[in-house]
């Protein structure tokens, strides 16, 4: 009987040891599951509705959970808010600030484009009232400029992350409302989806597709 008890005790210790050792491994796996490409999209998606970032043009780069912010913001308040938004995301280990403060030179250039687009869409207002009301509310505080377009496209990519765009690593560049897509996607379907989303984004005049289908995903 005593031998049985000793055996059971040893077994319990062994099980307890396995469970205890397993917890950090699981936690580590969960952290590693937050991929760099996903974080790029997540941070950009949170820039879209930030009024203080109107006129900014920010590039987000993520490597092993370390976020680097480059590009321009219109004020010190914009810089502080961009850093705050980036830091609060799960999976972000640290944020490197390489932002420059520079006045927006693009927002006023597109005032005419925005007015024309508003007029063109007026006829469809009643038909798409629900969608347009939500869209207008989100865009009310921040101008449709190159920086907004970039963040908006990334935000839409994030919405498709769990479908065709997961494991994508896409770099978006916007200049004078023209979008260039670089990087990799996992399939031809994902490539087509990424281009389609970019083309359908408000303010976009054209899209140059330089995306490549990852060799490991073909």
DSSP 30-55: HHHTS-HHHHHHHHHHHHTT-GGGTT
Query: Is residue 11 very low, low, confident or very high in pLDDT (cuts 50, 70, 90)?
Result: very low
Of 98-107, 162-171, 172-181, 201-210, the one with minimum mean pLDDT is 98-107
pLDDT of residue 16: 43
What is the rounded CA–CA span in Å between residue 149 and residue 65? 24
Tell me the angle at which helices 36-47 and 76-87 cross, rounded to the nearest 10 degrees. Answer: 140
SS3 label, residue 92 = coil
pLDDT tens digits along 124-177? 443 444 444 344 444 456 889 999 999 999 999 999 888 889 888 999 999 999
In a domain? residue 79: yes
Whole-number average pLDDT of the chain:
78
User: How many structural domains does the chain have?
Assistant: 1
Instruction: Take residue 160 and report the two structure tokens written for it.
Output: 């498709």
What is the rounded CA–CA span in Å between residue 103 and residue 156? 27
In a domain? residue 16: no
What is the rounded CA–CA span in Å between residue 213 and residue 16? 46
Rounded to an integer, the average pLDDT of 18-39 is: 52
Share of the chain above pLDDT 70, in %: 66
In a domain? residue 211: yes
What is the rounded CA–CA span in Å between residue 104 and residue 98? 17
Conformation bin of residue 26: beta by default, left when phi > 0, alpha when psi is -120 to 50: alpha
Range of the domain at 96: 36-217
In a domain? residue 140: yes
CATH of the domain at 87: 3.30.1340.30
Q: Which residue has the higher pLDDT, 94 or 122?
A: 94
In a domain? residue 170: yes
pLDDT tens digits along 187-204? 999 999 999 999 999 999
CA–chain centroid gap for 167, Å, is 13
pLDDT of residue 103: 81
pLDDT of residue 134: 41
pLDDT of residue 111: 46
In a domain? residue 11: no
- Judge if pTM exceeds 0.85: no
pLDDT of residue 118: 46
In a domain? residue 25: no
pLDDT of residue 216: 63
Q: Are 43 and 146 in contact (CB under 8 A)?
A: no
């Amino acid at each position: 009987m005593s031998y049985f008890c000793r055996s059971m005790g040893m077994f319990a210790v062994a099980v307890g040891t396995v469970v205890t050792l397993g917890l950090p491994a699981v936690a580590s796996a969960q952290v590693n599951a937050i991929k760099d490409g996903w974080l790029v999209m997540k941070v950009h998606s949170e820039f879209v509705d930030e009024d203080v970032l109107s006129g900014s043009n920010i590039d987000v780069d993520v490597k092993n959970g370390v976020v680097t912010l480059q590009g321009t913001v219109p004020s010190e308040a914009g810089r502080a808010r961009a850093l705050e938004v980036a830091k609060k995301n799960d999976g972000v280990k640290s944020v490197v600030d390489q932002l420059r403060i520079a006045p927006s030179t693009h927002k006023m250039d597109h005032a005419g484009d925005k007015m024309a687009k508003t007029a063109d869409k007026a006829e469809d207002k009643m038909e798409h009232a629900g969608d347009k009301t939500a869209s207008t509310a989100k865009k009310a505080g921040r101008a449709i400029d190159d920086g907004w377009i970039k963040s908006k496209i990334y935000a839409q990519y994030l919405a498709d992350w769990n479908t065709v765009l997961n494991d994508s690593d896409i770099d978006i560049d916007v200049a004078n409302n023209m979008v260039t897509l670089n990087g990799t996607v996992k399939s031809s379907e994902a490539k087509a989806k990424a281009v389609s989303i970019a083309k359908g984004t408000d303010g976009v005049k054209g899209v140059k597709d330089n995306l490549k289908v990852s060799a490991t995903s073909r």
